[in-house]
Amino acid sequence: MTVSKTAEKSSEKPADAAKGRKDAGEPQAEALQLGELSEQLGYVLKRAQLKVFENFLRCMASLQLTPAQFSVLLLVEKNPGRNQTEIASTLGILRPNFVAMLDNLESRDLCARIRSTNDRRSHILVLTDKGKAVLARAKKLVASKHEARLNDLLGQANREALIEMLSKIANDF
């Protein structure tokens, strides 16, 4: 729907246009009514997604991994020996856009392209040792800082239910 992206110091805190005060004395125009907006699935879904990505980036600040990069590393680790097309399309990334992404990861020595001997057109993707180490650390950060936060907020059971519902939407909607 809307809402900013980068986080850090998002100067446009949504749903909080009139400063975050606890009802100071000043006149201060009343807050706007969200109305039906707050029950619009797309609206709340987008906002939640931005918040989650924000938090993810903060958690990963030390490793400098974006959600997309993390997903690539995870998928390559789980499916070593696959080529760019396979990894990219599984993640919904278009091949042309995957090139720069891999250039980045490869320049940081996190993964490597290897010319396949079977099909000399394709590049087999593998994690480097450094890539495996970084991914391992990333997983720990995600578990301890990211998922833990969600468990605090919703509780373990609800968190699992949420992910299941989102998966259902992602797959069957």
Instruction: Determine, following the binding rule CB under 8 A, whether residue 148 of this chain makes contact with its own copies.
Output: no
Start-to-end Cα distance in the chain: 18
The residue among 22 and 120 lying less far from DNA, judged by its C-beta, is 120
In whole angstroms, what is the distance from residue 148 CA to residue 33 CA? Answer: 32
Number of Cβ atoms within 10 Å of the Cβ of 43: 16
Q: Which of DNA, its own copies, none binds 71 (CB below 5-8 Å, type-dependent)?
A: its own copies
Shortest Å, Cβ 147 to DNA: 22
Q: What is the CA radius of gyration of the chain?
A: 20
Instruction: Determine, following the binding rule CB under 8 A, whether residue 147 of this chain makes contact with its own copies.
Output: yes
Residues 43-62 binding its own copies (CB under 8 A) are 43-53, 55-56
Residues 52-111 binding DNA (CB under 7 A) are 66, 68, 83-85, 92-99, 102
Q: Are 42 and 31 in contact (CB under 8 A)?
A: no
The residue among 95 and 164 lying less far from DNA, judged by its C-beta, is 95
Q: Which of DNA, its own copies, none binds 64 (CB below 5-8 Å, type-dependent)?
A: none
The residue among 7 and 112 lying less far from its own copies, judged by its C-beta, is 7
Q: Count the alpha carbons within 13 Å of 96 in the hemisphere toward its beta carbon.
A: 0
Shortest Å, Cβ 159 to its own copies: 8
DSSP codes, 31-74: PPP-GGGGG-HHHHHHHHHHHHHHHHHHHTTTTT--HHHHHHHH
